[in-house]
Amino acid sequence: MMKKNICFSLVIASVLSLTSTVGQAQIASNVHYDTNFPIISPVTNKNGMVVTEQALATQVGADILKRGGNAVDAAVAVGFALAVVLPNAGNIGGGGFMMIHDAKSGKDIALDFRELAPEKAHRDMYLDAKGNVIPESSIYSHKAIGVPGTVAGLDLALRKYGTMRLADVIAPAIRLAEQGFPITPHLASLLDAERDHLGKWPASRAIFFNNNKPLTTGEKLIQKDLAHSLKLIAEQGPKVFYEGEIAQKIVAEMQRHDGIISASDLKNYKAVERTPVRGTYRGYEIVSMPPPSSGGVHIVQMLNMLEHFPLKDQGPNSAKTLHELSEVMKLAYADRSEYLGDPDFLHVPVAGLTSKDYADFLVKKIDLTQATPSEQIKPGKPVAYESDQTTHYSIADRFGNVVATTYTLNLNFGSGIVAAGTGIVLNDEMDDFSVKPGAPNAFGLIGGAANAVGPFKRPLSSMSPTIVLKDHKPFLVTGSPGGSRIITTTLQTIINVIDFNMNVAEATVTPRIHQQWMPDQLRYEKGISADTLSILEKQGQHLRPGQVMGKTQTIQIQQDGFSGYSDPRNPDGLAAGF
């Protein structure tokens, strides 16, 4: 794809040549990917690596590393830049998670800046008088918006673990917003796919439309209001977002449209540090995000089960391997529906779910010759084993620090609502709560009382920024967008590298599968052999050709340097060092 030692100023033309069609919105069915990618080598460098879904943001991060910043400085700069150049997922109007490995202390840090339910949120707020879910109320309305956490989270990361000033790391994002950048074919396809829910709101139309039509390839996206908001944050810090001019405009937007976020909700928001979820897999240490993410817990849980199977001997995407993966995924997602939620409001049995003994118990339920119907699988009892649109980017620096960040608006362009005068696209994260026990959310995930709507709660997430350690030092940094498919995508990236000895490019382009218990469907990408699919079907797997499974951004760290690769399922991405 690209030569070694790529400089940070490279353009995305070589990435675009890898795929014959443009990408799709997370839930838009009218745009499809070609997943027949050539097997190619990763980008390599000795000084550091930045891998993101948008080449301009990658350039921003690589430039920060070149100037002497560390991985956290670059991560914060990338976070603000993606809010400009990846408006469907990058954000300051949403929230997310960041995993940091701090080389100096050897410490692993989990930063939680997930959105928060407003004080006026309540369990039945999306149900009608008969107890039925009101269509799209938790997705495309002002009541769908959670209190944003990104600005607080990025600021916390920079203050505690970075080395540069906030104004310096935001400056590139301000320039991109003021000067604009050409719309790529990929972004044009997303704007067109989401035209209906973006077009409903005057402030959104003013940014993303021209002559009442979504911007098209080659047109320049200029975001003056967003540039102004970023300047305010650069000058005044996060307080202006949560208490000052920006907060006032967000609250005014809520009041005009029956939203429920108040000035008090914004003022009281806090990003928090949490204890990472840890596990081991074939001699490697897995460090990932704890609840309210479900990702880290279930990645470790599934790896614990997969240790029972000789994946290396079976081979990648063989019928045996895919059958075992599917059955393991069912068991984990069944537990997700029952036990995962905001740990500030309930006990999440993390120790039980990630216990090797619990995995030993669960794998005994797996029939190696026949699929178990999902309706026969119930959540297990992990407590007995206790002793308790999204986008992703990965960054590694020459000092030994690494950062894995996944943050989101939820669906493409979130709620589609821009707070008038701010240029900020607002999330629709309230849909990640269980709006009604047993009712699927936009990604088809089933939830229960543990993840019910409630004031000041953080909705359950699948975001899974993950660091793999070898001999206590970073070996792999990875994660992905993709809603419910994030967890299984990240899992398969890890086993592709560890079990099948793939480089990060090979691990990325290999076709993926996804099974989330309910509905009982084994989704698969194009590229898995017809013979394999025939065997799986005979074993009782309910096969369904799937949409794209994630868009990973992955770095591998070895003694001779860094290897990075940006998933060509999003053709706008780029891996680069300096």
Q: What is the pLDDT of residues 318-331, one digit of tens each?
A: 999 999 999 999 99
Residues 211 and 290 in one domain: no
pLDDT of residue 355: 97
Looking at residue 576, what is its pLDDT? 97
In a domain? residue 149: yes
- Same domain? 361 vs 405: no
Nearest to 478 by CA among 548, 417, 565, 558: 565
Quick: pLDDT tens for 421-436: 999 999 999 998 987 7
d(Cα 480, Cα 404) in Å, to the nearest integer? 10
At residue 523, the 3 state secondary structure works out as strand
Is 355 in the same domain as 421? Answer: no
Residue 573 covered by a domain:
no
Catalytic annotation, pick one of 390, 408, 508, 552: 390
Q: What is the mean pLDDT of residues 401-418?
A: 95
Average pLDDT value for residue range 204-209: 98
Residue 295, domain CATH: 1.10.246.130
Residue 171, domain member (yes or no) = yes
**Do residues 264 and 293 both lie within one domain?**
no
- The helix/strand/coil state of 380 is coil
Band the pLDDT of 447: cuts 50, 70, 90: low
Q: What is the pLDDT of residue 17?
A: 31
Q: How many domains does the chain have?
A: 2
Q: Are 217 and 333 part of one and the same domain?
A: no
Q: In 3-state terms, what secondary structure has residue 189?
A: helix
Q: Residue 475 pLDDT > 90, yes or no?
A: yes
Say whether both 181 and 306 belong to one domain: no
Other Cβ atoms closer than 10 A to 3: 11
The mean pLDDT value for 66-74 works out to 98
Within 10 angstroms of residue 426's Cβ, the number of other Cβ atoms is: 31
Residue for token pair 């897999």: 281
Which residues 6+ apart lie within 8 Å of 134 measured at CB? Answer: 126, 127, 128
> Domain for residue 304, yes or no?
yes
Which residue range is the domain that position 376 belongs to?
A: 276-390+463-560
Residue 1 is assigned to a structural domain of this protein:
no
pLDDT tens string 75-123: 999 999 999 999 999 999 999 999 999 999 999 999 999 999 999 999 9
Query: pLDDT at position 441, please?
Result: 64
Do the beta carbons of residue 486 and residue 310 sit within 8 Å? no
Asked whether the CA dihedral 312, 42, 296, 427 is positive or negative, the reply is negative
Report the candidate in 549, 554, 567, 553 with the shortest Cα–Cα distance to residue 513: 549
- 390 classed as catalytic: yes
Residue that wins the pLDDT comparison between 163 and 7: 163
Per-residue pLDDT at 35 exceeds 90: no
Mean pLDDT of 134-153: 95
| Rounded average pLDDT over 35-64 | 89
Nearest to 417 by CA among 199, 574, 564: 199
Query: What residue type is assigned to position 135 of the chain?
Result: P
Count CB neighbours of 376 within 10 A.
9
In this predicted model, which residue has the larger pLDDT, 385 or 263? 263
Claim to verify: residue 261 and residue 296 sit in the same structural domain: no
Q: Are residues 110 and 236 in the same domain?
A: yes
C-alpha to C-alpha distances, 37 to 22, 188, 446, 500, 505, nearest whole angstrom: 13, 22, 33, 18, 10
The answer to whether position 10 is within a domain reads no
Q: What is the pLDDT of residue 436?
A: 75
DSSP string, 422-480: TTEEPP-GGGGSBSSTT---TT-----GGGB--TTPPPPB----EEEEETTEEEEEE--
Same domain, 155 and 241: yes
- Does residue 33 register a pLDDT over 70? no
My answer on whether 371 and 247 are in the same domain is no
Determine the pLDDT at residue 438.
65
Q: What is the mean pLDDT of the chain?
A: 91
Answer whether residue 43 is part of any domain: yes
In this prediction, residues 449-468 reach a mean pLDDT of 93
For the stretch 323-358, pLDDT in tens is 999 999 999 999 998 899 999 999 999 999 999 999
3-state DSSP assignment of residue 190: helix
**Rounded distance between C-alpha atoms, residue 323 and residue 320, angstroms:** 5
203 has pLDDT over 70: yes
Measured between alpha carbons, how far is 25 from 194 in angstroms, rounded to an integer?
8
| For residue 211, pLDDT beyond 60 | yes
pTM of the complete model? 0.92
Confidence of residue 451 (pLDDT cuts 50, 70, 90): confident
Same structural domain, 75 and 188: yes
Contact 24, 7 (CB under 8 A): no
Residue 217 and residue 99 share a domain: yes
Q: What is the predicted pLDDT for the residue at 547?
A: 80
> Is residue 79 assigned to a domain?
yes
